[in-house]
Amino acid sequence: MDVERCIALHNEILQHGWIGSGRSPDQLAANCTNWFDYHGASAAALRHSLDSDLILFLERARFPNVENFSFFYWVNNLAWPEYMFEFGELFDTHGYRANAEDSEEWAERFVVLYAMNDFGSHRLGLV
């Protein structure tokens, strides 16, 4: 995975949405932080469960610190720490369904990276 390209793409989409929502491009940097800084201790507690590439992405992808702003129409923003591993039971892989008896490794196999806006019955966005 090319993490640098993922970071650049995320930040470019964010900037496009920022400007498209009528905000000044000059104010974007001042209104953003990164995922770890925004979520503090709850994000830091997940570091041990995240791949090093994902950690780098979350450290460098911009995270808007403003209300009433969505990353994209269907996608709210990078997922909150408490949602990142919450939906593992929704995945069915090759006929195998994760359950309570499975190891933590299976439970943390899928990461919700972007949370969906409040358009449906769940917050499962981009995994």
pTM for the full predicted model: 0.79
Strand partners of residue 75: 116
Give every CB contact of residue 27 below 8 A, 6+ residues apart in sequence: none
pLDDT in tens, 64-114: 988 877 777 777 788 889 888 876 555 555 555 555 555 455 556 678 888
pLDDT in tens, 104-119: 555 566 788 887 776 6
| Range(s) of the domain holding residue 46 | 3-126
Q: How many C-beta neighbours within 10 Å does residue 110 have?
A: 18
- Residue 78, phi then psi, degrees to nearest 5: -60, 140
Closest CA relative to residue 45, chosen from 56, 36, 54: 36
Considering its fold, how many domains does the chain have in total?
A: 1
pLDDT in tens, 16-55: 989 988 899 999 999 999 999 999 999 999 999 899 999 9
State the pLDDT at residue 127.
47
Q: What CA–CA distances, in Å, run from 32 to 84, 97, 126?
A: 20, 38, 21
